[in-house]
Amino acid sequence: MAALRHISQSLLRNFLKTEIRPNPETCSVCIRLLNYSSIDYDDKHDPSPKFFNKEVQSLLKDLTRIDLGKVNKRKRLGSDKLEEPVYQFMTDEELQKATEAAIKKSEELLQIPPVVSVRKPINRVLSEDPALQGLEQSTMVFTDITFGIRDSDRLIVVREPSGILKEAEWDVKNRMNQLYFPKEGRLLKPPKMFFGEYFESLLERKEYEFILDRACLQFEPNDPDYQRVTSITYQHVNDKGGFEMLRSTRHFGALVFFLAWHKNIDNLLLDLIETSYIEEGSKLLDLYSKLHDVNFKSSNDLEKIEEYIKNFAKKKAGLELGVQAYKDVLKQRQELEEGIKVAHGLR
């Protein structure tokens, strides 16, 4: 049993590495890093309608497997001093109320960051006036600071030295929004941890939650940089098997959606089978079928997984071994139970 599990794991680790290959159509920005390339959600196949679907959302939430202790855990942010815990005596009613409040709070904390397609470059010229050439050596940026406008709706225009008046590009817009209406924790320039060797070292140290939290804070979800950072992190998690680190955080849903969207759920499915969460495995396949309009004939969880392995899986060998191991475990359990019953003289 243990040997089987070991073989299936090693099969996956060694020669069945991720095979998400961005086809030239779907990938607009490809930056090589750690042998991983960025995979954007492009605007040809917009993921947002499917992501915001209620059924998909509830499936993602179920797969996140909420653990209240982990969600409400104190995070090591370094700034605050530790407080002494408060112990309280409560009646049953009060306890129930407190638990409900905790669940409500955890739902807020576990909101999945939106999955949307990457934004298009802005190229909107408002007027051209070549007679203004020579007036300025630098570009003039005009920001509307009218009260009560959303950052995305704010009018930010640029007058270039050539006299062209046009809408500001995305990076200038973000910079101006952050300058005049700062968001706490967001920096004017993206921090170095998202680039080059710094990013690599973070990934090697498996600081996945830190990367994803900071990316959520720093970037808008349609930012190419956000999609680069998150997609590379998701691929890393998928290959190194770091699902447990992200489980019960807000990023797990986005991770699962990413993997299912790019038809690369085999590692996650094997992880679920090995840890005997067959029901969740079946939910994962439901999600897969919703995203790719595939129907599974069988309604039984295990049969559904077997059908998936037969028809769609890329890593059949490892998954079949995993399912076999799970079946053996079930068998052993049954035998054990029967043995116990016999020993107790029940049969």
Partner 1 sequence: MNKLRGVARCGLPFPPPTKIIRFQRQGCTNRPFYHIIVADVKSDIHFPPIEQLGTHDPIANENNEKLTSLNYERIRYWLSQGATTSRPVQELLGLAGFFPIHPRSYMTAWRNRKLAEETSKIETTGTNEQEKE
Using CB under 8 A as the criterion, which residues of the chain lie in contact with partner 1 when the complex forms?
126-127, 129, 131-147, 155, 157-159, 163, 165, 172, 176, 179-180
Q: Which is nearer to partner 1, 189 or 297 (CB)?
A: 189
Find the shortest distance in angstroms from Cβ 299 to partner 1: 59
> How far, CA to CA in Å, does 301 sit from each of 157, 212, 266, 275, 285?
56, 32, 16, 15, 9
> Do 94 and 60 form a contact (C-beta atoms < 8 A)?
no
Find the shortest distance in angstroms from Cβ 14 to partner 1: 48
Rounded CA gap, 26 and 41, in Å?
A: 8
Rounded CA gap, 112 and 60, in Å?
A: 9
Q: Which is nearer to partner 1, 136 or 338 (CB)?
A: 136
> Do 213 and 244 form a contact (C-beta atoms < 8 A)?
no
Q: Which neighbouring-strand residues pair with 291?
A: none
Q: Which is nearer to partner 1, 176 or 269 (CB)?
A: 176
Q: At what angle do helices 251-261 and 54-64 cross, to 10 degrees?
A: 120
Rounded CA gap, 64 and 248, in Å?
A: 5
Which one, of 254, 201, 231, 189, lies nearest residue 30 by Cα? Answer: 231
> Do 319 and 313 form a contact (C-beta atoms < 8 A)?
yes
The CB density around residue 233, as the number of other CB atoms within 10 Å, is: 25
Find the shortest distance in angstroms from Cβ 217 to partner 1: 23
Q: Which is nearer to partner 1, 23 or 146 (CB)?
A: 146
Q: Which neighbouring-strand residues pair with 166?
A: 125, 158
Find the shortest distance in angstroms from Cβ 127 to partner 1: 7
> Do 38 and 20 form a contact (C-beta atoms < 8 A)?
no
User: How many residues are listed for the chain in this entry?
Assistant: 347
Q: Which is nearer to partner 1, 126 or 294 (CB)?
A: 126
Q: Which is nearer to partner 1, 52 or 142 (CB)?
A: 142
The four Cα atoms 67, 69, 74, 76 give a dihedral, to 10 degrees, of: -60
Three-class SS state of 130: helix
Q: Which is nearer to partner 1, 2 or 145 (CB)?
A: 145
Sign of CA dihedral 325, 328, 332, 333: positive
Find the shortest distance in angstroms from Cβ 153 to partner 1: 13
Find the shortest distance in angstroms from Cβ 149 to partner 1: 9
Find the shortest distance in angstroms from Cβ 143 to partner 1: 5
Which one, of 263, 260, 226, lies nearest residue 38 by Cα? Answer: 226
Q: Which is nearer to partner 1, 90 or 122 (CB)?
A: 122
Q: Which is nearer to partner 1, 175 or 206 (CB)?
A: 175
Q: Which helix (H) or strand (E) holds 126?
A: strand 125-128
Find the shortest distance in angstroms from Cβ 160 to partner 1: 10
Find the shortest distance in angstroms from Cβ 172 to partner 1: 8
